[in-house]
Structure 1
Amino acid sequence: MDSLYAIILGIVEGITEFLPISSTGHLIVAGELLRGMQAHPWSKDMRDAFEVIIQGGAILAVLVYYWKDFLKIGTIGRDPTQRKLWTSVLVGCIPAVILGALFGSKIKHFLFTPSVVAWALIVGGVLIWLVESRKVTPTVHRIEEITPVKALGIGAVQCLALLWPGFSRSASSILGGMMLGLDRPAATQLSFYLGFITLGGASLLDLIKSRHVLGEIGAVNMLLGIGVSFVVAYLSIGWLLRFVSTNNFKPFAIYRVIVGVILLVLIAAGVLSNGNMA
């Protein structure tokens, strides 16, 4: 059952990490379903550590998918376009780094509950619908055109995901990008880049803190989870980029509201505990 648990959560993480639908909310639902089927063999510390581990697989998928772009980092000393791009990406990460360092543990302690996540899904879905309903012509069509000032604004909006668990980091960064003039493909690609850095750093710190339970999870389960998460996330990245090239995000808005309502119903019915998950 350990391996089955690792594979299922790896699939959930890979699908949801970069789509604007909140991996947190979906991992909660998956965990509760597995617990109901008595297929939830690990302690809370093990589950928390494993979620960080499989997040690493999704982060690796970004690196592999955009490996040619990441290799260009070596040219920033002589290529002003690359220097501007990666300066903007780093600037966009600053708000989340500062907010996470100052308030991350408190936010997780007080707000990390299923009901908070459910309302974040619903409100986020409504905001996605409203942003997509505007009649605005994007002014930025390539990620290389993003300025540090725009990136800082997008990074500030990205902090919604930190302040409100379940809002979704990808949803907040994509929304921020679209509100500041990026078209959907550019906003989505920037979200991947921001996620690679912010999630990578946060995951590394969390993994160091959780190292005492890694032996209990087991190397096979960790490799299974990372591998499944990597493959599914890689496929999800490609699918999302193709999707946004010809579609808007309204289907995700509808989906978020439905999942949020389901969570609230499960809480009200007593099927899902509303206790703190931190």
Structure 2
Amino acid sequence: MDLIELLRIFILSVVQGITEWLPISSTGHMIIIEDILPLSSSAEFKEMFMVLVQLGSIMAVVVLYFTKLNPFSRKKTSQQRKDTWFLWFKVAFASIPAGAFGLILDDYMEEYFNKPIVVAIALIVYGVAFIYIERERNAKHAQVIGNLQDLSFADAFKIGCFQALSLIPGTSRSGSTIMGGLIIGAARPVATEFSFFLGIPVMFGASFKKLVKFGLDFTQAEFIYLIFGMIVAFIVSIIVIRFLMAYIRRNDFTGFGYYRIILGAIIILSSLFKRSF
């Protein structure tokens, strides 16, 4: 086992755990980190690791929201258990667009759109959109969806359509779904929590697909890297999710919009600089 490679895995897992939940694009950050600290593992393992490390992140949501997501909890009333089942049905319904388009277009998008310039443009476009939505639309329109129970199946499906846009690298899955929630009038905590829950079937599905494609033929070192990365991503995600929920109760997403624009500009300048040499 290579300790330097383990350090690279640690850094990538920290970045993934942070950027998976903040609306700032994990892909954009991975491009920068991989340029600085490329993994020495095989291309196939690296591709699989980038997906499976997300299981650590999604388990953080399961742990933090276990009571809210558990329809069998004895602590809940009959109505609360019913509401929990309906929440899961809404998540399943909202997952249809991303699931359908993902099966058809995922490999194509990864091959032809997973390029620095595409990521940079998506970062900037969504950054501008976040600033516009927060400053213009939400400043003039009331938030009509104040809790998850108020979120209708039609609302959930609309957010799911926005999630399908995250197939374009650089858009950010959380960024797309949160933006969709804000546009339909959901309060920031509602849009953010529903984004978390939508990640559960999407990430489990993507991880299963990669496992089937890669198989279980790991070396001992690769298995250690994978488990270590998932644990790191889990711990970091716990911290980030708690931070984000506290942050949005006092602030909006404008700051993330500016951050996306700056990151997109950095990627473009970096690509131009490489071409010059």
Q: TM over 0.5, yes or no?
A: yes
Pick aligned residue for 2:27 from 10, 18, 24: 24
**Contact 2:27 2:169 (8 Å CA) reproduced:** yes
**Alignment partner of 1:8 is 2:11:** yes
**Contact 1:13 1:23 (8 Å CA) reproduced:** yes
Per the TM alignment, residue 85 of structure 1 is displaced from its structure 2 partner at its CA by: 1.7
- The match for 1:72 is 71
Cα deviation code 1:120-172 (max 9, x no counterpart): 1111101111111122210111112211110001101111111x211001001
- The match for 1:59 is 58
- The match for 1:276 is none
Q: Distance in 1 between matches of 2:19 and 2:67?
A: 24
In the superposition, relative to structure 1, how do residues 82 and 259 fare at CA in structure 2: closer, same or farther (>3 Å)?
Answer: same
Per the TM alignment, residue 82 of structure 1 is displaced from its structure 2 partner at its CA by: 2.3
**Alignment partner of 1:150 is 2:155:** yes
Task: Identify unmatched segments of 5+ residues in structure 2.
Answer: none
Q: Distance in 2 between matches of 1:83 and 1:114?
A: 41
Per the TM alignment, residue 76 of structure 1 is displaced from its structure 2 partner at its CA by: 11
- The match for 2:197 is 193
**Contact 1:76 1:83 (8 Å CA) reproduced:** no
Per the TM alignment, residue 183 of structure 1 is displaced from its structure 2 partner at its CA by: 0.5
TM-score scaled by length of structure 1: 0.91
**Contact 1:177 1:187 (8 Å CA) reproduced:** yes
Q: Distance in 1 between matches of 2:5 and 2:14?
A: 14
- The match for 1:225 is 229
Moved more, 25-34 or 76-85: 76-85
Matches within 5 A, 1:86-101: 86-101=88-103
Code of the aligned partner of 2:237: A
- The match for 1:208 is 212
> Equivalent residue of 1:214, what SS?
coil
Q: Distance in 2 between matches of 1:208 and 1:247?
A: 42
Pick aligned residue for 1:173 from 174, 177, 186: 177
**Contact 2:23 2:256 (8 Å CA) reproduced:** yes
> Equivalent residue of 1:159, what SS?
helix
In the superposition, relative to structure 1, how do residues 224 and 83 fare at CA in structure 2: closer, same or farther (>3 Å)?
Answer: closer
Q: Distance in 1 between matches of 2:216 and 2:201?
A: 25
- The match for 1:138 is 143
**Contact 2:21 2:241 (8 Å CA) reproduced:** yes
Per the TM alignment, residue 272 of structure 1 is displaced from its structure 2 partner at its CA by: 11
Computed over aligned residues only, the root mean square deviation of the Cα atoms, in angstroms, reads 2.1
**Contact 2:70 2:84 (8 Å CA) reproduced:** no
Q: Distance in 1 between matches of 2:147 and 2:180?
A: 16
Per the TM alignment, residue 106 of structure 1 is displaced from its structure 2 partner at its CA by: 1.4
Matches within 5 A, 1:28-47: 28-35=31-38, 40-47=39-46
- The match for 2:128 is 126
Code of the aligned partner of 1:137: A
Per the TM alignment, residue 219 of structure 1 is displaced from its structure 2 partner at its CA by: 2.4
Task: Identify unmatched segments of 5+ residues in structure 1.
Answer: 274-278
Matches within 5 A, 1:227-266: 227-266=231-270
Per the TM alignment, residue 213 of structure 1 is displaced from its structure 2 partner at its CA by: 5.8
**How many residues are matched?**
268
Q: Distance in 2 between matches of 1:272 and 1:140?
A: 50
- In percent, how many aligned pairs have the same letter? 34
